[in-house]
Amino acid sequence: MDLFSEIEAPEREEVRRLRRELEDANYKYYVLNQPTISDREFDEKMHRLQDLEAQFPDMFDPKSPTQHVGSDLVKGQKSKVKSNFETVKHKYPMLSLANSYSREEIEEWVRKLPAGVEIVCELKYDGLSISLWYEKGVLVKALTRGDGQQGDDVIQNIKTIPSVPWRIERNDIPDFFELRGEVLLPWERFEALNKEREEQEEPLFANPRNAASGTLKLQDPREVARRGLDAYLYYMLGENLPGKTHFERLETAKAWGFHISDAIRVCHSVDEVMNYIAYWDTERKNLPVATDGIVLKVNDLAQQAELGFTAKTPRWAIAYKFPAEKQLTLLKEITYQVGRTGVVTPVANLEPVQLSGTVVQRATLHNEDFIRQLDIRPGDRVWVEKGGEIIPKIVGKESQTCQTSQTSPTFITHCPECGTVLVRVEGEAAWRCPNEAGCPPQIKGKIEHFVSRRAMNIDGLGEETIDLLYRQGLLHNIADIYDLKLEDIAAQERLGEKSAQNILDGIETSKQVPWSRVLFALGIRMVGETTAKKIARRYNTIDSLQWATAEQLCAIEDVGPQIAENIVRYFEDMRNMEILERLREAGLQMEGEAAPEPTSDMLAGQTIVISGTFAHHSRDEYKALIEAHGGKNAGSISKKTSFVLAGENMGPEKRKKADELGIPLLTEDEFLEKIQA
């Protein structure tokens, strides 16, 4: 290798590294809804990659992140998301916008435009992009951005949004038109959803955008409707449309009954644009939905066509991103909360500081590792950030902060509620109180989970009532609920005979809740609602589940070693067995519909992994076929895997693992021939 090549090598390796990092960031943002880096950090990496690719044109790759937008397509991704959505090609490519974080850059962009050009300024809503197709006034498709060329049709979920009309009854509409916009979860609904998730000890959504994206990809439109999405529309496409400007078309869409923001303005100078940005930088904090910037578009549609596009973005539009809000404040003390599963969460108690229109006094510190990583202690001045996230977070400390001690930050060793010595399970980041039966927050938390809407759904037994009945000695565990008497409840403060009777009616109704929800309601660690359904399908009685081994449980999809061990441990605890016996005597549903008898034993003793997409049957149908012929489904490849049922777009990691272990791959047709279907 010559000297010139040696000098180039680090930059060339940086190109490959940046491509990997950006693809990974796109996947986590668009598919998992779990962003790991900020928008600004992503854009900085992208700009660096663009500069390097210009420096080394021989490294051009059409698959580079600089040449396409991130993809939110569910099918063909390496995630565990299951999808029944049809993938449809966009009529017009759905590109992203170039981002800027500098007002100076925005001024420069405006000044480079043709003289006298009108600019439409709009709020940049922080949601999930959507494309709505209308034929003869009827909504026929609702596509996500996907990869810009094709998207998932989520029309059944979109139809749950009240602000999106299914039909336009007018004589002045074209045969076909397309409206694009953002699907959003309003702040109020976002906070309510996160409160639900917090009560269930499920991971919280970081911001409304993640929550909206996750909601829109759910397979159950009823749950989508319950969460309360909204949609703001901002662009019309099609042939023979009314109006010669972008603004005129939006006004037309508004007249047709579409949800178009009232904040859109036509600007004629740099000063007007800057005034618009300055106004909404403050006023946006009073809006019911999340915004993260301003979008500028050339108003004249003919000028838009003349300016054209790059590979990823239109040249006639740009986005200005508001900087994340960050304030310095005093960390007064660290307190600790105990959840229903015993997890101890440290909480930062702060000198009150204003962020994004609200006063912040508390922020989660997650766990001991997080505290050590930031090296923070009470008395430090810390940076608190909100940005696009409603959940305040501490992102660092003032570098000049003087430490009173050179030792590492300390975490408590005993439960702050019951005094029990805390334990830390190997492989987990959290400390936990093991005193399940004697720690008040755990006892009350388990009861709150048991009566919640998605579990036993017992109305009237809210957090305050449970706390009251617990303090009066009437509730010590979930089985005590079914021993409550009218006179005991009615005698409590703020409760009367009518409220007591409503509670008892709810308790009686809960005896009809199906077995899968009873299993979820028990609150076994890491057994969520979906996992409980899968377990209940495999073990249709609590008696059969009680004697299942960890190995047998791991054969169920999405049940890993940790969940299996938690289930086994639950049934080994005699206190739990006593509670279950009381619940059985109370009349709860402890069994469900029996799994169908196997059609044959052709796959007996075989463990099969399914990967990819299929033409003849859905993935769920193939799983049912495997079980019907005596086989077991598994979610990951191991030495115990008999073969992989490999469809189109099989995950590369699974293919690599199968090759390494010598696991055979069967095509869809080969599998059907094997079972003679």
Residue bearing tokens 């009873």: 518
**Nearest 10 degrees: CA dihedral of 31, 37, 38, 40?**
-110
Is there a domain that residue 72 lies in?
Answer: no
**309 and 180 in one domain?**
yes
Give the tens place of pLDDT for each residue, 365-418: 888 888 888 888 899 999 888 755 556 788 888 875 555 555 567 899 999 999
**408 and 280 in one domain?**
no
Residue 419 contacts by C-beta under 8 Å, 6 or more apart in sequence?
none
**420 and 447 in one domain?**
no
**377 and 499 in one domain?**
no
Q: Which of 165-179, 202-216, 320-334 has the highest mean pLDDT?
A: 165-179
Q: What is the pLDDT of residue 3?
A: 35
Q: What is the pLDDT of residue 460?
A: 87
Is there a domain that residue 45 lies in?
Answer: yes
In 3D, which of 676, 671, 622 has the Cα closest to residue 642?
671
> Angle formed by the axes of helices 3-30 and 39-55, to 10°?
150
Is there a domain that residue 240 lies in?
Answer: yes
Greatest CA separation for the chain: 91
At 66, is the secondary structure helix, strand, or coil?
Answer: helix
Q: Give the C-alpha separation, 127 to 289, whole Å.
A: 9
Q: What is the mean pLDDT of residues 78-97?
A: 74
Confidence label for 2 from pLDDT (cuts 50, 70 and 90) = very low
For residue 65, is pLDDT > 80? no
At 85, is the secondary structure helix, strand, or coil?
Answer: coil
Q: Give the C-alpha separation, 376 to 394, whole Å.
A: 10
How are strands ordered across the β-sheet holding 230-237? 86-89, 150-153, 138-144, 128-135, 176-184, 230-237
Give the tens place of pLDDT for each residue, 90-126: 999 888 888 888 889 999 999 889 888 999 999 999 8
Which conformational region is residue 60 in: left (phi greater than 0), alpha (psi within -120 to 50 degrees), or beta?
beta
Please check whether residue 250 is in contact with residue 266, taking contact to mean a CB–CB distance below 8 angstroms.
no
Please check whether residue 443 is in contact with residue 477, taking contact to mean a CB–CB distance below 8 angstroms.
yes
CATH number at residue 616: 3.40.50.10190
Q: What is the pLDDT of residue 4?
A: 38
Q: What is the pLDDT of residue 201?
A: 61
**499 and 529 in one domain?**
yes
Q: Which one of 270, 300, 321 terminates a domain?
A: 321
> pLDDT > 90: what percent of the chain?
42
Confidence label for 81 from pLDDT (cuts 50, 70 and 90) = very low
**235 and 102 in one domain?**
yes
**246 and 368 in one domain?**
no
At 130, is the secondary structure helix, strand, or coil?
Answer: strand
In 3D, which of 84, 238, 230 has the Cα closest to residue 163?
230
Q: Give the C-alpha separation, 398 to 632, whole Å.
A: 55
243 - beta bridge partners?
none
**Structure tokens given for 575:** 């206190």
CATH number at residue 172: 3.30.470.30
Give the tens place of pLDDT for each residue, 478-501: 999 999 999 989 988 878 889 899
Is there a domain that residue 377 lies in?
Answer: yes
- Which of the residues are catalytic? 124
Q: Give the C-alpha separation, 362 to 348, whole Å.
A: 5
Is there a domain that residue 280 lies in?
Answer: yes
Taking the CA of residue 585 as centre, how many other CA atoms within 13 Å lie in the half-sphere pointing to its CB? Answer: 11
**312 and 293 in one domain?**
yes
Encode 428-452 in three state secondary structure: CCCEECCCCCCCHHHHHHHHHHHHC
CA distances from 207 to 185, 285, 290, 393, 619 (A): 9, 14, 9, 12, 31
**339 and 303 in one domain?**
no
CATH number at residue 378: 2.40.50.140
Please check whether residue 142 is in contact with residue 231, taking contact to mean a CB–CB distance below 8 angstroms.
no
Please check whether residue 539 is in contact with residue 548, taking contact to mean a CB–CB distance below 8 angstroms.
yes
**Nearest 10 degrees: CA dihedral of 244, 249, 255, 257?**
150
451 - beta bridge partners?
none
**225 and 166 in one domain?**
yes
Give the tens place of pLDDT for each residue, 536-581: 988 999 999 999 999 899 888 778 888 999 999 999 999 999 999 9
Q: What is the pLDDT of residue 507?
A: 95
Mean pLDDT of all residues belonging to the chain: 85
Is there a domain that residue 627 lies in?
Answer: yes
Q: What is the pLDDT of residue 35?
A: 61
Q: Give the C-alpha separation, 490 to 167, whole Å.
A: 51
What is the count of structural domains for the chain?
Answer: 5
Provide the residue type at 291 as one letter. Answer: T
Residue 96 contacts by C-beta under 8 Å, 6 or more apart in sequence?
69, 70, 145, 148, 312, 313
**618 and 582 in one domain?**
no
Residue bearing tokens 């049709």: 153
Is there a domain that residue 430 lies in?
Answer: no
Q: What is the pLDDT of residue 571?
A: 95
Q: What is the DSSP letter of 324?
A: P
Q: What is the pLDDT of residue 438?
A: 92
Please check whether residue 473 is in contact with residue 443, taking contact to mean a CB–CB distance below 8 angstroms.
no
Run of H or E residues at 65: none
Q: What is the mean pLDDT of residues 195-214?
A: 77
Residue bearing tokens 């800057």: 274
Q: What is the pLDDT of residue 218?
A: 84
Run of H or E residues at 269: none
**Structure tokens given for 208:** 């409304």
For residue 249, is pLDDT > 60? yes
Q: What is the mean pLDDT of residues 316-332?
A: 87
Q: Which domain holds residue 582?
A: 440-586
Classify the C-alpha dihedral 136-140-144-148 as positive or negative: negative
Q: What angle do CA 127, 320, 328 make, to 5 degrees?
A: 85
Phi, psi of 297, rounded to the nearest 5 degrees: -130, 140
Q: Which one of 296, 321, 346 terminates a domain?
A: 321
CATH number at residue 26: 1.10.287.610
Q: What is the DSSP letter of 647?
A: -
Q: Which one of 321, 342, 366 terminates a domain?
A: 321
Q: Which of 37-46, 186-195, 244-253 has the highest mean pLDDT?
A: 244-253
Q: Are strands 119-125 and 291-298 parallel, antiparallel or unpaired?
A: antiparallel
Is there a domain that residue 435 lies in?
Answer: no
**210 and 171 in one domain?**
yes
